[in-house]
């Protein structure tokens, strides 16, 4: 950086840094859909179980996670699936998924967590509206 321009650059990068901090604050406080405000202690316990068993290494929520298993964001409200289907898989595992030997309380907690995920939004690819400018809007996207 040429010495004579140092002050000018310092101003630009300070501005960038301040912009980053303001944006971070915005993300921390604004990025929440209305219908996701109240979360039950059971769902919180389910989220912890999700992490303890490293479920995201195979499964996705909103397309984020591993690719070996299916995306589970809306699995509970998907036709032909639902709670019983999910509980049976959690209980026994599959050909690919190990049996984690979960007890009934743990399965209930995980179901509560998946229910919360399901309520938070719709991740089905056809549910998004594509704008002319290339942006996408999720169906029923409501935020504070």
Partner 1 sequence: MKRNSATIFIATALAVFLLGMFFGLLAAAQYVMPGLWRDTLPFTKLRPLHVSMVVFWLLLGASGCVYYFLGTEKLLKRRTRKWILLHYGLVCFVAVGSAIAYFSGNFGGREYWEFPPYLAIPLVLAWVVFLGVFWRSVYGTMKRWPVYYWMWLTGIVFFIFSLAESYLWLLPYFGDDLVRDMAVQWKSYGAIVGSWNQLIYGAAFFLMAKISGDNSFAFSRKTYFFWFLGLTNLMFNWGHHIYALPVSPYIKHTAYLISMTELLIFGKILWEWKRSVSEMRQFFYQMPYRFLAAADVWIFLNLGVAILMSIPALNLHTHGTHVTVAHAMGTTIGINSMILLALAFYIFGQVFGALSPKNMMKAKVGYWLSNGSLLVFWLALMGAGLTNAWYQWYEPEMPHALLMQKLVPFFAVFIFAGIFLFIGFALIVFPLLQQFFSGKKADTETKNIPPFEILEPSKKQAYANEYA
Judged by CB under 8 A, the chain residues 71 through 130 that form the site for partner 1 are: 71, 93, 95-99, 113, 116-117, 120-121, 123-126, 128, 130
**Of the candidates 15, 18, 64, 88, which one interacts with partner 1 according to CB under 8 A?**
64
Q: In whole angstroms, how close is the CB of 104 to partner 1 at the nearest point?
A: 21
CA distances from 109 to 24, 48, 76, 105 (A): 31, 9, 14, 6
Give the one residue of 8, 18, 54, 105 binding partner 1; rule: CB under 8 A: 54
Which of 25, 26, 85, 105 binds partner 1 (CB under 8 A)? It is: 26
* Rounded CA separation 12/34 (Å): 37
Contact between 22 and partner 1 by CB under 8 A: the answer reads no
11 is a contact residue toward partner 1 (CB under 8 A): no
Question: Which residue of 24, 25, 85, 88 would you call a contact of partner 1, by CB under 8 A?
Answer: 24
72 by Cβ neighbours in 10 Å (0-12 / 13-18 / 19+) ranks as buried
């Amino acid at each position: 950086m040429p010495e004579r321009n140092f002050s000018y650059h310092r101003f630009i990068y300070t501005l960038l840094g301040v912009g980053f901090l303001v944006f971070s604050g915005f993300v921390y406080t604004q990025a929440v859909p209305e219908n996701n405000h109240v979360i039950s202690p059971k769902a919180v316990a389910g989220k912890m179980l999700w992490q303890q068993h490293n479920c995201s290494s195979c499964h996705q929520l909103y397309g984020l996670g591993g690719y070996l298993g299916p995306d589970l964001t809306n699995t509970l409200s998907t036709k032909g699936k639902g709670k019983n289907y999910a509980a049976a898989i959690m209980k026994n595992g599959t050909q690919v998924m190990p049996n984690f030997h979960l007890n009934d309380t743990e399965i209930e907690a995980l179901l509560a967590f998946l229910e919360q995920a399901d309520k938070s939004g719709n991740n089905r690819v056809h549910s998004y509206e594509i704008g002319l400018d290339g942006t996408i809007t999720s169906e029923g996207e409501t935020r504070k």
